Amino acid sequence: MKTNYLHIFRKKLQEAEVVTPIESESTLDKVLNQSKKLPKVLTKLLTTEKSYNEEAKKQLREVISDIRCVSYNPTIFRVIVPTGNFFELKYDPTPIELNNPEDVEPQDSFTVTVLGKKYNIANRSEYLQCLDYISQILKTSTITKEPEEETPGAEDQEEPAPEEEQLPEEEPEA
C-alpha cells in the first residue's frame, strides 16, 4: 500500500497551525502606548491639555477614531477622525535631533499634512494654520456617493404619458 504523502502533509500543517488571538486593543491604543513622541504631538494638536496625561488620552479618544502607520521610512502616521477625514503626521528628524533628543521638543521632528498642504509645526505660524485646517476636517464630513432616497409611494403612482400632438399630414402638391 502506498503512503499518502498529501494526507500526512496536511495533518502536519494542521498541527503546526498557530491560532492567533483576536486583538482587543485598537491601533489607537497601541500607538499611544508604544510611541513616546506621537502622543505628545497629538496632545498639542488636538486637546486642551498642556501635557500627555489621562485627560488628554480621553480627549484624544473622542477626536481620533484610528491611527494607522502608512510608511515606515520615513515614518508616516495617518490619523483618522470620526468624520472619515484624515491628516498625516510625518516623523522626519534631522541628524541633530537624533543625536540630542533631550534638547529637542517632540513636535520639532514632525510635519503635518492636512488637505494636501504640509506644515512644519515647529514654526508657530505654520502650527496655527495647521490647527485651522484640522478644525475644518473635524467639522466637515467626507463626500460620499449615496443613492438618493425615493419618496414612498412613488413607485405606485405613474405619471400620465403626455399625449402626442398629431400634426395633420400635408397633402402633396400635384
106-156: pLDDT as tens digits:
777 889 999 899 999 888 999 999 999 999 998 887 655 555 555 555 455
Strand duo 86-91 + 110-114: pairing? antiparallel
Residue 138 near residue 81, CB atoms below 8 Å: yes
Higher pLDDT: 169 or 137? It is 137
Q: Residue 40 and residue 114: Cα distance in Å, rounded?
A: 18
Residue 28: strand, helix, or coil: helix
Q: What pLDDT is recorded for position 125? A: 93
pLDDT, position 22: 43
How far is residue 105's CA from residue 110's CA, in Å, rounded to a whole number? 10
Of 128 and 2, the one with more pLDDT:
128
Residue spans of the domains in the chain: they are: 23-139
Question: Could you read off the pLDDT of 26-39 as tens digits, one per residue?
Answer: 678 888 888 888 89
More reliable by pLDDT, 83 or 161? 83
Set of cell numbers at residue 74: 520615513
pLDDT value at residue 23: 45
Q: Using a CB cutoff of 8 Å and minimum separation of 24, what contacts does 43-49 make?
A: 44/107, 44/121, 45/112, 45/121, 45/130, 45/131, 45/134, 46/134
Most confident of 44-53, 89-98, 145-154: 44-53
